Structure 1
Amino acid sequence: MSRYEEAKLNYEKMGVDVEGALTLCAATPISIHCWQGDDVRGFDQKDGRAGDGIQTTGDYPGRAGSFEELKADFLKAASLIPGKKRINLHASYAVFPEGEWADRDKTAYRYFIPWVEFAREHGFGIDFNPTCFSHPMVKNGLTLSSPDEAVRRFWIDHCIACRQVAQRMGEALGDKVLNNIWVPDGMKDVPADRMGPRLRLKAALDEIFAENCPNVIDSVESKVFGIGLESYTVGSGEFFMAYASQHPGVYHLLDNGHYHPTELVSDKIPTLLCYFDVLPLHVTRPVRWDSDHVVLFDDELREMMTEIVRCGGLQKVLIGLDFFDASINRVAAWVVGTRNAQKALLWALLQPHEALKALQDSADFTEKMVRMEEAKTLPFGDIWREYCRREGVSADESWFEDVKAYEREVLSRRGT
C-alpha cells in the first residue's frame, strides 16, 4: 500500500472524500497577481515606481523590467505551481506599441491585447484592477474623492475605461473578469470633514458603474489605513460594504491585510456569504500592518480556506493573491505564496466538515473538539504529494533548484 493510499484510508475514516477533494482543488482557480514580478512598478510611467498609496521594500536583483520579462517570470512560476490559474492584472501593466503612450484616463483595450493573447495561449483567465496610485494625479492623497474636479474626473475616466477593458477581455476569453477598484484616499491627520469625501466617492462610483458590462464582475476594496494616511480612510470597510449592499452587481472585496490586526477575514467570509452570491478575496499576509508579505501556510490562511469550503463557497468566492516582496527572489515568492494558497485550500477540502457541523448542532462540543484536533494531525503531506504528482509539479522544495537555475541563467543577467 502506498503512502497516499494509507493516508487516504485515514481521512476516509473521518468521513472525508479524498478523491473529491483532489478534484475540487485542481478545478478551483487562484488569481496570481502580476505585480509581485516587478515590485508594483508597471509599464505605463516613464519612471515607474510604487508610491502614492503603495509601498514596497527591497532591491533583490533580477526585477522584471518589460512585458516579455514579466511574462517569462510568470510562466516560470506557474510551471512550478499546481492547480488552475488566472492572471490578476493592474491597468498600469498596459503594453504600448512602440512610439505610442496613453495616460490612464485614456486606458484602452488595445494596450492589453498582448495579455489576452498570453492568457489564451496558456489557458489562464484574467482579472483586472484600475491603478489609482503611483501617478502624479494622486493629489494630496486623494483620487475619486478629491474636491478638485479635474483630479476626480481623471480617475473616474480611468475607472470607466478599465471596466470597458475588462468587458472586452471577458468577451475575448469567453469569461467573466473581476474588475476591482481600490483607492488610497485618506488623510494623515484628523480630518475636518469625514462625510464630504465619502459623498464624492459615492457619486464617482455611481458614475463608474452606470454602464452595463455583462462580462464584468465589479468589486470595491476597503482599507483600514495607509502609510501617510493614518487618521482617515475614505473607502473604509463600512463604506464599501454599505455601497455594495445597496448596488446589485457590485461586490465587496476582502483583502485580509486591510483590517485591524485583531479582525479576522476568516470570520467575515461566512458573514458576507449570507448576503452576496459572489465574494472576491485578495489573500496576503500582514505583519503589524498591510505589509503584503508572501503568503505562508499559517493558521489564518487555513481558516480562510476552511470557511470557503465549509460554507459551500467554492463557486462563489473568487480567490486572488496580493503580496509583493522585493527583498527575495520574486519568482520564488510567487511560487511559495501560491503553493501555500493551494495547500491551504486542499487542507480545507480534507476536513470532516459535515461531521463537525452535526456535532455542533447536537451540542456535542466535546466530541467536536476531539475530532477537530484529531484532524489536524492526519497525514496531509501524503495527500499533498499525490496532488502535486497528478498536477505534474514537485511536491517538496526541490522546485527551488529550478528557480535557482533560472536566477543564474536569466535573472542575474538583467540590469534591474
Structure 2
Amino acid sequence: MPSPFPFLTQTTGKIQAFPPRVLNITEEGSIIECHIQITDGKYGQDDILEFTSFLLIKKNQTSSHGYLVSKVITPTPIRIIRRAIVTHNITKFIDSLPSLNVIIPLEDLKRNLENITINGTLNWNDKTMRFTLCPINKKELEDSALPYLGLVLILAVIQAFAFVKQMDCAKTESSLKRSSYNTIVFMATSDAFVCHVHVYLASLFTPSSLAFRFSILLSFLYFMIFSVYDVKYIFTIWKSQYGTVSQRSAMLLYLRLYATLFILFILSVFSLHYFLIVCFSLWMPQIYQNIITNNSQVISLRYIIITTFPRCVLVLYWFAFPYNFMNYRVDGVLVITLFSLVFLQIFIIVIQKRYGARCFIPKFIQKLCINEEYNYHHGWSDIAKIRGTLECVICMAPIENTHMETGCPEIVVTPCGHVFHTDCLASWIDYKMDCPTCRAPLEGVF
C-alpha cells in the first residue's frame, strides 16, 4: 500500500497543531488527543494531511509514543478509536494504525511554545520514516498573506460602492417592491462570513504586523457592509413591500434575518461546499421575484456583475489558486459548480430583461399558477361617456379619443378607472405605486 505521507520521505515538513485535550490520565502518564495538519512546507501544494494523533505523554520524559488516525489510513471513525483508547481497548486497531514516536524538547517547550522542533519516526507497512516537523514561520505566513489582503481590500471597496449605487438607483417605492428580500439576505450572509474569516486570519498574525492590521481593516469593512448597507436595505425592502412596519413586525424581521444567518453559519461548519453553493444562489430569489412581478428591470446587469465579481475572485483564490497562503486544496469541481451556477443565474436574468420576465414559462403554467393580470391598455369609451373630455392629471394635456374603443399602448387605464398617458404614469410609479388621482394601489405592469 502506498504511503499517504509522501512528503515525509523528504525528512522535513511544517506542522500546525491545534490545542490538545486530555482524554485520560493514568499512572503511566497522560493520553492526549491533538488535531494536526502537516505539509511539506511549501505554501499552496496539494499534499496537506489532516490527522488526529493520540499520544501517551509520560512524566518528565523526552519521548512519546502514539498513533495517527486519518480517513486515508483507516475507515474506522475517529470517535470509535478515541473511545477504545480511553478504555484501553486499542489492541484491535493497532495493526492498521501508523505508530508514531516523537522526541519532545522539554527545555524548548518551557521557554517558547511557538518555536519548537519535533523529531520523530513514523512506522507503517514495515517502513520507518524519519521526519522533522517545525512550526509555521509567522513572518513567512504574514508576507505571503499581504498580496491576498490587498486584493480583498480592493474588492471590498468595489463591492461597497456598487451597493451604494444600487441603493441610490432603487430607492423608489416601485423598485423596492420588485426587489427580492432573500437575495440581499444571501449577500448579507456571505459578507458576514468573509468578515468572520478575516477575524480568524487576524488571530494568526502578530499584532504588530501589517498583515494583522489589514485583516482587522477588512473585518471592519465587511462588518460595515453587512450591518449598515445590507441590513438597512433589507429593512427598506421589507417596509416597502409590507407597508407600515410595527415594532413587532420589525422585531420578527430581524429575528428571521439572524435566524437565517445562524442556520447558514451552522451549515458552513459542517459543509463549506454546500454553504458556498447556497450563497452563490443569491440571484435565484430575484429571478423568482421578477416572475411574480413580471418585471426584470429593477436591478441593472452592471450591478449584478460588479456584485458577483468579488465573490468569484475570493473563491478563485481559495479553491483554484494552488499557492494560496491558507493552504486550501485546489478543488476544481467546486469552482466549476459555483461558476456554472452563477453564469446560469446571470444568463436567466439577461433572458428575462430581453424577452420578458416570464418568457421561459409555458403559457398553460402561467394560467394555472399565476393570476391573470389586469390589462392597462383596454378601451376607455365607457369612462369618456361618463366624464366627457379626459385629460392626464400628470402632464395636464388632453387625452385624444383615437382608439378609444379598443385601447392603445400610449394610453393607460387604471383599475380605479382613471386615464393617463403611458409615459406619464410610468414616470409617476417610479416614485409612487398608487394612482395620482385617488391614491388607489396600482398592481402589475403595463
Return the TM-score normalized by structure 2: 0.25
Which of 1 and 2 has higher RCO (CA within 8 Å, sep 6+)? 1
Q: Normalising by the residue count of structure 1, what TM-score does the alignment of the two structures yield?
A: 0.26
- Which protein is bigger by CA-based radius of gyration? 2
